[in-house]
Amino acid sequence: MSDLLDRLRGRGWRLTAQRRVVAEVLDGDHVHYTADEVHARATALLPEISRATVYNTLGELVSLGEVLEVSTDGRAKRYDPNAHRPHQHLVCAKCGTIRDVHPQGDPLADLPADGRFGFTVSTAEVTYRGVCPNCAGG
Amino acid sequence: MSDLLDRLRGRGWRLTAQRRVVAEVLDGDHVHYTADEVHARATALLPEISRATVYNTLGELVSLGEVLEVSTDGRAKRYDPNAHRPHQHLVCAKCGTIRDVHPQGDPLADLPADGRFGFTVSTAEVTYRGVCPNCAGG
DNA sequence: GTCATTGCAAATGCTTTGCAGTGCC
DNA sequence: GGCACTGCAAAGCATTTGCAATGAC
């Protein structure tokens, strides 16, 4: 994750305690926190960090392409630090848990040119929905 | 579309002028309005309809499975009356226009059992993103 | 020392809710 | 005529913004 901080410093970022903490909170696999969850976890590490700063920092990380925004439920957006490995999302319909998955094949190839309405199509996001083992009662 | 009204009446819906108008607004292909857009169009047909009623009605249509909720941009939800024909969405990154598309193949088949983290997976939503002919300047 | 960054608090956008009145069945 | 439905207005989240104070470089 200091990879990330190095990269950001290289791009002229001022490295503040707040930004360092947000980056630290986002470290890990299958991390998809809402801004509020990031703020709560950041507060545990740096009590005086403000919500506005968390929003600002997340917005910048997204602009820089270091973090992805995902909206799986129409409520709060979630932030996914796994921006450099292509993947899709598997969402539990009951508890909202999200896992990163790596399907085979390329959904783009499944959309024929004559079904694209003249669009220049560049990406395909896939959201799988189901029930996780915990919620299935297993 | 009176199919829809018939079905709803059959399920014990009270058929009010407001609900009739919301159903009428949602009639058509490639319709993906926000609640606000539905309200604006409904107001043109029935000036005294309130925003709350539009929200209520849309929520009920979603619960009944007659309309789908789509969130393609993390902003306002959109409502898709095409609930009975499986399809995916193609979104213009510039103007937000949405078209219904019908890719070949089944994304579910692309997700191997050993990559599902024990989830029981039931659906796959695909959002294609690109630029529409209008925004491409063509 | 300068200027980007922060924190606060107020504002905004979307959606939900409480409740009295209305009108469908 | 009863009770679901409507409209209004206020409340509730998630997020953005303005501006003075702070602190990284």
pLDDT in tens, B63-119: 999 999 999 888 999 999 999 999 999 999 989 999 999 999 999 999 999 999 999
What is the percentage of chain A residues whose pLDDT exceeds 70?
A: 98
> Inter-chain contact A126–B126, Cβ cutoff 8 Å?
yes
**Is residue B138 predicted with pLDDT exceeding 70?**
no
The residues with which A83 forms a beta bridge, in sequence order, are: none
> Inter-chain contact B129–A108, Cβ cutoff 8 Å?
no
C-alpha A48/C-alpha B41 separation (Å) is: 47
CA of B13 to C1' of D2 (A): 16
pLDDT score of A108: 96
Q: Residue range B13-17: average pLDDT?
A: 96
Helix (H, G, I), strand (E, B) or coil at B44: helix
Q: Does A131 touch chain B (CB under 8 A)?
A: yes
What is the percentage of chain B residues whose pLDDT exceeds 70?
A: 98
**Which protein residue lies nearest to nucleotide C3, measured between its Cα and the C1' atom?**
A14
A74 sits within 7 Å of strand C by its CB: yes
**Is residue B7 predicted with pLDDT exceeding 70?**
yes
A55 sits within 7 Å of strand C by its CB: no
Q: Residue range B23-31: average pLDDT?
A: 96
pLDDT tens sequence across A52-70: 999 999 999 999 999 999 9
Q: Does B35 touch chain A (CB under 8 A)?
A: no
Chain B residues whose CB is inside 8 A of the A132 CB are 117-119
**Is residue B1 predicted with pLDDT exceeding 80?**
no
Architecture of domain A3-80: Orthogonal Bundle (1.10)
Confidence grade of residue A138 (pLDDT, cut at 50, 70, 90): low
Strands A78-80, A88-92: pairing is: unpaired
Sketch the domain layout of chain A as residue ranges: 3-80, 88-136
pLDDT score of A1: 52
> Inter-chain contact A128–B138, Cβ cutoff 8 Å?
no
Helix (H, G, I), strand (E, B) or coil at B99: strand
**Is residue A129 predicted with pLDDT exceeding 60?**
yes
pTM of the model: 0.93
What mean pLDDT value characterizes chain B?
A: 95
CA of A52 to C1' of C11 (A): 14
Considering the domain B88-136 in this protein, what is its CATH number? Answer: 3.30.1490.190
Smallest CA-to-CA distance from B52 within B66, B63, B39 is with B39
Tell me the residues of chain B between 91 and 120 that have a Cβ less than 8 Å away from chain A.
92-93, 99, 101-105, 107-108, 110-112, 115-120
**Is residue B61 predicted with pLDDT exceeding 60?**
yes
> Inter-chain contact A107–B107, Cβ cutoff 8 Å?
yes
Contact (CB, 8 A) for A128 and A90: yes
Distances (CA, A) of A39 to A14, A123, B87: 20, 30, 37
